[in-house]
Chains A and B, each alone.
Chain A
Amino acid sequence: MNRIDNLFKHKSNNILSIYFTAGHPTLTSTVDILSELESSGVDMVEIGMPFSDPLADGPVIQDASSKALGNGMSIKVLLEQLQDVRSKVTIPLLLMGYINPVLQYGVEAFCKKCSEVGIDGVILPDLPMNIYQESFQKYFEQYNLRFIFLITPQTSDDRIRMIDSLSSGFIYMVSSASTTGAKAEIESSQVSYFERVKGLGLKNPLVIGFGISNRETFNRACSYANGAIIGSAFVKMLTETGDWKDGIGKFVRGVK
């Protein structure tokens, strides 16, 4: 069974997912960070594939991406690093990034390699739904990878239902109209959007991301969804803490 499906089958709330950019802080830190996240009790991880022009990202992840590229990270290097990851890490792993590097790697080759190393799902925010259906879906299904779609406060109910019917794994609910970046609190306009989506009774689990940064925002988000994703706040910790191995446990304990 796909590990994402398995996770949501056995756990329906307070799912903590962490995003970090592969190749940052160092080229070889990726697998160590994954192990540390698993032993700290994180439920799921999104591994960022760095891109030169990350237009949905705020300054923290932009900076981590350009450092990672400077360190020599690429999809090829990342998938090599992950070759034996399943001997060390059992939680669901997703790759998240932008479409262009995946196109250059080759869509089918990418899906094949992801499934070989034990990746469970992929998030490519700038791959539109119609093009996914036309030329990507068949490979994702063939290699048992979940393709995760985003919804935002501007996504209409009709479109959310369409995304729900096309999705498997979970739906990534972007918390506000914004690029990635930590926010200190959740505002009332966000709450009405969370309630609206919750009220749609979707078949897929919902995970809220963007702007989730600490225990308060995580708990708030989890009261409307099955879980939440922390990205920029975690990446910032990695950037700023000299001893990030120690920092990961502390960070996760601060949230859960």
Chain B
Amino acid sequence: MNFSPNENGFYGEFGGAYIPEMLFANVEELQHKYLDIINSERFEKEFRRLLKYYVGRPSPLYYAERLSKHYKTNIYLKREDLNHTGSHKINNTIGQILLAKELGKKRIIAETGAGQHGVATATVCALMGLDCVVHMGETDVKRQMPNVLRMKMLGAKVIPAMSGNRTLKDAGNEALRDWINNPTDTHYLIGSVVGPHPYPDLVAKFQAVISEEIRWQLKEHTGSELPDYVVACIGGGSNALGAFYHFIDDKNVKLVAVEAAGLGVDSGETAASIARGTDGVIQGARTKLMQTADGQIIEPYSISAGLDYPGIGPAHAYLHNIGRSIVMDATDSEALKAAFELTKLEGIIPALESAHALAALPKMKFSASDVVVVNISGRGDKDMDTYIKAMGM
């Protein structure tokens, strides 16, 4: 399976590298070198070794019996929540830190929303002894405090982004500005399948391990590598693209991407970038984004900091456009309900982001023989404040 953009980074009409000249040299270096580096035997070996012994992969594919009974079908949970640091984000940071080392970079910067990518970046920087600066919207610093404290303990410097809504997009802008100001020694470790080419492809290839494992694990469970559905939430789209990747050519596998509707897709307080988006350029890529008729980016809203982003990775805009993916959405309250349901039925507290994927289940029609894989992209520890409030405790 090789789902890749063309040499200019386009998936159909989406993607590319819309970057100012100040970033050109850095991005060009990555464009020229990333495939050779990540396809080299040495890189592959080290990447696999760290995924196995440091991250704890393969992550289990768990048959959720009580949840399956509830929805009268067969639901398997891909347990990315059990990875070291608590989400799928570490798959990408391991890959990119090895790449950064190959490129001789000394300083790592990242943006983060929920803080999961920030923690995963701070973790691999500690592992490799590299300096780490994480940009995080001030709003998110407040709503994801446990992750801020983890990053600090791991030795990262957390810089609150004070522009816009002070959430994920603004953290991304600050990281890009940081990179413009520090072009020679710094690698920008982007946390999702967004940004200028080659990031969407780079991150997709590191996250593709999720679907690679699902295939053989499912075969062990059911005798077939192919499910009927793969369901994942999308913020920028990295866990979803990772979970879809090795199924893209298997046209009978329905790929379901669940966006954060916030208070509702039509409420004006939403992060449903495909449902409410139009074509344009955001943070270096041509894709779907929420914008005004004048081309100003609309500030998104979601209860989930990791999904609170007005754009979507260009590969997802493409998969949606060609009809390969099914895009659904879940509101704040639907996601909360789904989080409590999984906790009650299976004893698993999911991240609020992953809860959006689960919230699509009651809106779908399954037959008793269907095989449904839901990607549990992360665990809910960081969201306990929100959950406690929702319980009225």
Contacts and interface: CB of A to CB of B under 8 A. Distances in A.
Interface string B167-189: 00100010011001111100000
B18 A177 contact: no
Interface string B18-44: 111110111000000000000000000
Interface residues of A, number: 38
A99 B196 CA distance: 14
B20 A150 contact: yes
B268 interface: no
Nearest to A174: B22
Contacts of A178: 22, 180-181
B283 interface: yes
B364 interface: no
Interface stretch (B234-242, B291-299, B335-343): B291-299
Nearest to B177: A179
Given A52-B296, A53-B164, A74-B294, A104 B180 contact: no
Contacts of A130: 8
A127 B17 CA distance: 9
Contacts of B282: 53, 100
Interface string A65-104: 0100100001110000000000000000000001111111
Contact of A155 (B17, B21, B169, B279): B21
Contacts of A154: 22, 24-26, 183-184
A212 interface: no
Given A128-B18, A174-B21, A100 B280 contact: yes
Interface residues of B, number: 34
A159 B15 CA distance: 23
Contacts of A101: 294-296
A214 B183 CA distance: 26
B236 to A, nearest CB: 15
Contact of A125 (B20, B25, B169): B20
A55 B176 contact: yes
A156 B29 CA distance: 12
Nearest to A176: B181
B255 to A, nearest CB: 28
Q: Which 7 A-B pairs have the closest CB atoms?
A: A104-B295, A101-B295, A154-B25, A125-B20, A150-B21, A74-B294, A52-B296
Given A55-B176, A152-B25, 7 more contacts: A53-B173, A104-B294, A127-B18, A128-B16, A152-B22, A155-B25, A174-B21
Interface of B: 8, 16-22, 24-26, 163-164, 169, 173, 176-177, 180-184, 279-284, 291, 293-297
